[in-house]
Amino acid sequence: MSHYLRKLEVKRNDIPSFKRYPFHLPAVKSLTELNFHPDVTYLIGENGMGKSTLLEAIAIAIGFNPEGGTFNFNFSTRDSHSELERYVRLVRGVDRPKDGFFLRAETFYNVATNIEEMDSEPFAGNRVIESFGGVSLHEQSHGEAFFATFSNRFRGNGIYILDEPEAALSPLRQLSMLAKIHDLVKRNSQFIIATHSPILMAYPNATIFELTEKGIQETSLEETNHYSIMKQFFENKERLLHHLLNE
């Protein structure tokens, strides 16, 4: 009961049609409810299954800006988010988060730009970028900017929604991110993460939901397609490449 988000419930009777976007997506059309782990929950699956759309709906329903940022970010570069958040209900825990961040790889540039715009306003007060490490996110590589956000802006006692954070991170940085996640979990934080990275999926005792054409099912790291493919590649690279390149 103490974690911030306990469950997502889909208001299926209110959905107008399961034949149109976003309700036709495999992640949505068979979903009734989703129980979140108090520490870390992963949403994984192939492209097109709807994990980012589902994650976006969760983030918006919590109170985040669709393009990302903290609870205080309120900007729009282009309204492209789905209407799914109107058809989900979040069951919250007793505690309320004191911090939070919605980080999505595809719109992180827009968040960085909005920070610069806020800091350039007359009488803006304390510069927003100071809480991100003090260096413009646009003046760093994509990976450095991501990691500066993890390292500086994620303060603990919070809810953190991450959409494919590995997009900008090397394998070494992904391992460092696991350590950061663990540190924040120990400081009463909860994560919901959509990812393709078997490294990021490796956090101990986390819940992994795999999205397929058949729906959503809970699984373990070793049973995921992501892990299986990477394992095949590294254990028998030559054979796999032979089939890929000679067919």
Residues 111-166: pLDDT tens digits? Answer: 889 889 888 877 656 888 999 999 999 999 988 998 999 999 999 999 999 999 99
State residue 123's pLDDT score.
64
The burial of 16, by beta-carbon neighbours within 10 Å (0-12 exposed, 13-18 middle, 19 or more buried), is given as: exposed
Distance CA 14, CA 89 (A): 12
Per DSSP, helices labelled H in the chain are: 26-29, 51-62, 108-120, 142-148, 171-186, 225-235, 237-245
Q: Which residues of the chain have pLDDT under 50?
A: 1
- Nearest-angstrom CA–CA distance, 81 and 103: 15
Please tell me the predicted confidence (pLDDT) of residue 151.
Answer: 92
**pLDDT for the residue numbered 1:** 47
* The predicted structure's pLDDT at residue 55: 94
Which CATH number is associated with domain 5-221?
A: 3.40.50.300
**What is the per-residue pLDDT for 208?**
97
How many other β-carbons are positioned within 10 Å of the β-carbon of residue 213? 11
Record the pTM.
0.92
pLDDT of residue 171: 93
DSSP letter (8 states) at residue 206: -
